[in-house]
Copies of this chain bind each other. A is one copy, B any other.
């Protein structure tokens, strides 16, 4: 099996750097999906709606994107039924050939981190019987707890040929509160970036990039360019393009000269470019995905 980095490189070579974020919200779903569910219990209505919508999005964006990123929070918001739909949707995405990034921003220490990592990658083993849980190609990870909290994710990813994306510089307006504190002449996020570059170095695949990626927001183009240079062999997952305000020009600084090196996420911009009443919602998703893919071409 090729490394995670090489599978991601292949997806980007084939379809470009667009990563489609799947962030379902009940009130935003097309009426065409919500109305037939009106007699279901609310917990099931939401879960079925999220799956139906997510599956449709996968089909519609497939010509324009090789990577999808479901956001765990929105599935967790509707409870255990939602988590089941997250699992089904990740499987569906994999079967359709997508590289899947589970955006869960997990982080904990020692065997607790291993539990999250096993859920994400290898699955669970009970009395010698194994079953998959999320079975994602990559997981987003929060670094605040330090090296021994990140390492279980890296170890589990390595064993299962998967990847991680460590939060370095996030896309929100208040990201700098702790990330920009300057220590020994460098902001905290640069210290995190230096660790990521070290963790990544021994994992480089044929494409020249490794399996330990970094999350760097599109909303801070200066930091994005600086971090591209500081971590030349690290895959960047770039949120904040589109609805959050980052432009295609802003994010292109994240590409390496070979056109690889970054995947650029759009969630609302691609998946909710319609009003819930709109009968043309599918065509609008296709158009939004096509436009984003064209804009983002290296």
Contact = CB atoms under 8 A, between A and B. Distances in A.
A178 to B, nearest CB: 6
A45 interface: yes
A23 B112 contact: yes
A145 B171 CA distance: 9
Given A76-B116, A112-B73, A191-B181, A149 B172 contact: yes
Interface stretch (A51-59, A80-88, A206-214, A251-259): A80-88
Contact of A188 (B116, B119, B131, B183): B183
Nearest to A120: B76
- Range class of the A interface residue count: 35 or more
Contact of A109 (B42, B108, B115, B170): B170
Contact of A124 (B46, B71, B112): B46
A188 B181 contact: yes
Contacts of A148: 172-174
Interface in A18-55: 23, 25-26, 34, 38, 42-43, 45-46
A180 to B, nearest CB: 9
B174 A133 contact: no
Given A42-B127, A110-B172, A133 B177 contact: no
Contact of A144 (B38, B45, B46, B179): B179
A188 B183 CA distance: 9
For the complex of A and B, list the 6 residue pairs with the smallest distance between their C-beta atoms, beginning with the closest.
A148-B174, A146-B177, A181-B183, A109-B172, A146-B174, A80-B84
25 contacts: A23-B112, A42-B129, A46-B126, A71-B115, A73-B106, A76-B119, A77-B115, A78-B124, A78-B133, A79-B124, A79-B131, A80-B81, A80-B86, A105-B107, A143-B144, A143-B178, A144-B167, A145-B172, A146-B172, A146-B176, A149-B172, A149-B175, A181-B183, A181-B184, A182-B184
